[in-house]
Structure 1
C-alpha cells in the first residue's frame, strides 16, 4: 500500500513539474524554432545544432514559464482558470519551483553555449530576462500595453532558431520575429476579453479591464489587419513562394473576419483566441512546406538541365 501511494505521489509531482513548463506553449514555440532553423539555410544542418539548439531554447523557455508561475502564484490563486496550478493548489512549494526553474535555465544555456553560438545564447538569455523578469515582474501589472511591449520575448523563438544556425541576424530572421510580435496582442487580448472579470478581480490591467471590450476589440481588428499584411512579406522578399502566399492570405483573411465579428459579439473571444493558435502553427507550417517544395523543384530543374 505504501509503495502504491509513493508511486501515485511521484506521478502527481511529475505532472506538476511538467505543468510548470507550460508544455503546450513551449511546444508551439519549439515548432517555430525548428522552422526558423530550417528556413535559415537550404543545406543540411549539423545534427548537434538541430538537436541541441531547439532543446536548449526549449529548456530556457520552460525555465521562464516556471518563473512566471512563481511570480504569478498569488494572482493565479484568485483566477478560476489558474487556481489549480501547482503553486496555488499547494502541490509544489516556492523553493521547489525556484530550484526547478534555475536548473532548467542553466541546462538550457549550457547546451546553447556548447552547441550553437554566442549570439544565440545571448539572445536566448535576453528573452529569458525579458519574459521572466521585465514582463512577469513589472510590465504585466504596470500597463495595459504589457502584451505589446512584453511580446518581444515571446516573438523570439524563430529568430533564435535562425541565429542558432547562421550566427547572425538576417532580414529573414527579423521578419519571422515581426510576424509573431504583431500576432501576440490580438492573441492575448482575445483571451483577456473572455477572462476580463478574472483579470479585474486580480487587479491585472489588461486592456479590456482598463479600456473596455469595444476598445480592445477594435485594437484586435487593427492588429489582425496589420498581421495579415505583414505575413505576406516572406513572399515579397523572396523567402517563400506562391504556395505560402495563398495559404497566408487565406489564414489572414479568416483571422480578420473573426476579429471583425468579435467587435459585434464578445462571445467570439475564445473562438478567436483558439483560431489564433491554429493560425500561427499553420502559417509556420506553410513556410516550411513551401520551402520544401521549392527545394524539390530546384533539384528537379537541375536534374532536367
Structure 2
C-alpha cells in the first residue's frame, strides 16, 4: 500500500510539473512583471486588492494558455529541434488532448476572471493577445516570413496595456508607448537566440531571419533595433510620464544593450549571442523597474 501511494504521489507531482512546463513560466513571469508595472503606473495608490489579484491571475492565465497552444501547434517541429525535444508533448508524458483541454481551461478561467472581476476591455484585449500569439504568429507568421517575430511581437507587447486598462478601463498614450517599447525590443531580444539555435531552425525549416538572410545580416539588424530602442525608450519622458531618474536609467541600460549587440558583431560566436540574449532580458527588467521607481519617487517628492 505504501509503495502504491508513493507511485500515485510521484505521478501527480510529475504531471503537475509537466503542465507547468507547458505554460512557459519564465516567459509568463516576464510578461506579468510588465503588466503589474502598468497597473502601478496607472494608479500607484490603488487599493482594490480583489481587482489587483484578479487582473494579475487573469493576465497570467491568458499568457499561459497562449503558451500551451504554442506547444500544441509546434509539437511537430519540436521533435527535430535540440532546444525543444524534451518538451512534455514531444516526450509523450502528456497527450495533445490533455494539453488542449488544459489550454481551454486556462483560457476560460482567465478570461472570465478578467471580464467579471476586472473589466470587459481588459478581457477582450487579453483574448486578442492570446489569439495573436497562438494563432496569427504560431500558425501563420512563424512559417511564412522571416519577419515573423517582428510582426508577431505585438501580442507579446500587450501586457503593460492590459495592466493599465485593468485599473483605468481605458486606452491612453502612456501604455501604448510601453507597448511600442516592448515591440521594438522583441526582435533584438529574440534574434540572438535564433542565431544560437540556427541549426535547430534550419532543421525544422522555420524561416527565422538568420536562416533566410544569414547571421551577419541578423547581427546588423539586432544593432539596428537596439539603436531604435534608445529614442523609443525616452518617449515616456517626452510626454511627462517619467522624469530624470528614468531617463538616465533608460539611456544607461540602452547603452549596455547596444554595446552587447556591437560585441556580437565584433565577436560573432554563439556565446556572444547568448550573452546578448540575457542582456536583453535584464534590460527589460531594468527599464520597467526604473519606470516604477521614477514614478513613485516623483509622487513622494510632490507629497
Please classify the TM superposition score into its range, dividing by the shorter chain length: over 0.9
Structure 2 CA distance for aligned equivalents of residues 229 and 10 of structure 1: 50
Instruction: Give the whole-Å Cα distance in 1 for the aligned partners of 2:262 and 2:243.
Output: 28
> Do the aligned partners of 1:56 and 1:108 also contact (CA within 8 Å) in 2?
yes
The CA distance in 1 between the partners of 2:93 and 2:286, in whole Å, is 35
Equivalent-residue separation in structure 2 for 1:256 and 1:274 (angstroms):
13
Of 212, 215, 218, 1:216 maps to 218
Deviation by residue 1:224-258 (Cα, 9 ceiling, x = unmatched): 01012211111121111111111111000011111
Residue deviations 1:61-80, cap 9 Å, x none?
10000000011011111111
Runs of 5+ consecutive residues of structure 1 not aligned to the other structure: 300-305
Aligned residues: 299
Partner of 1:134: 136
Give 3-state SS (helix, strand or coil) of 1:240's partner.
coil
Q: What value does the CA root-mean-square deviation take over the aligned residues?
A: 0.9
SS in 1 for 2:152: helix
Query: Which residue does the alignment assign to 1:37?
Result: 39
Q: Is the 8 A contact 1:39 1:162 kept in 2?
A: yes
TM-score, normalization by structure 2: 0.97
Measure, in 1, the Cα distance between the counterparts of 2:124 and 2:99: 24
Contact 1:221–1:256 at 8 Å: present in 2 too?
Answer: yes
Q: CA deviation at 1:151?
A: 0.2
User: What is the DSSP-based 3-state SS (H/G/I as helix, E as strand, rest coil) of the residue aligned with 2:242?
Assistant: coil
Contact 2:147 2:208 in 1 (8 A): yes
* 1:283 partnered with 2:287: yes
Native 8 Å contact 1:193 1:266 kept in 2: no
Cα deviation code 1:137-175 (max 9, x no counterpart): 111111110001000000000011101111111000100
Distance 1:104 1:42 in 2: 29
Q: Does 1:293 align with 2:300?
A: no
Q: 1:1-305 counterparts in 2 under 5 A?
A: 1-267=3-269, 268-299=272-303
Distance in 2 between the 1:250 and 1:243 partners? 11
Write the deviation string for residues 33-79 of structure 1: whole angstroms up to 9, x where unpaired: 00001111254242222110111011011000000001101111111
Q: In 1, Cα distance between the equivalents of 2:288 and 2:12?
A: 37
Give a deviation string over 1:172-218, Cα, whole Å, max 9, x none.
Answer: 01001000000000111010001011100000000000000010011
Taking the aligned partners of 2:120 and 2:151, their CA distance within structure 1 comes to: 25
CA drift at 1:95: 0.3
Residue pair 1:53, 1:164 contacting (<8 A) in 2 also:
yes
Q: Distance in 2 between matches of 1:96 and 1:228?
A: 44
| Mapped contact 1:162–1:173 kept (Cα < 8 A) | yes
Deviating more after overlay: 234-243 vs 141-150: 234-243
1:266 Cα deviation from its structure 2 partner = 2.3
Q: Which runs of 5+ in 2 are unaligned?
A: none
TM-score normalised by L of structure 1: 0.96
Q: Is the 8 A contact 2:44 2:296 kept in 1?
A: no
Runs of 4+ in structure 1 deviating by more than 4 angstroms, as ranges, are none
After TM superposition, give the deviation of residue 102 of structure 1 in Å.
Answer: 0.3
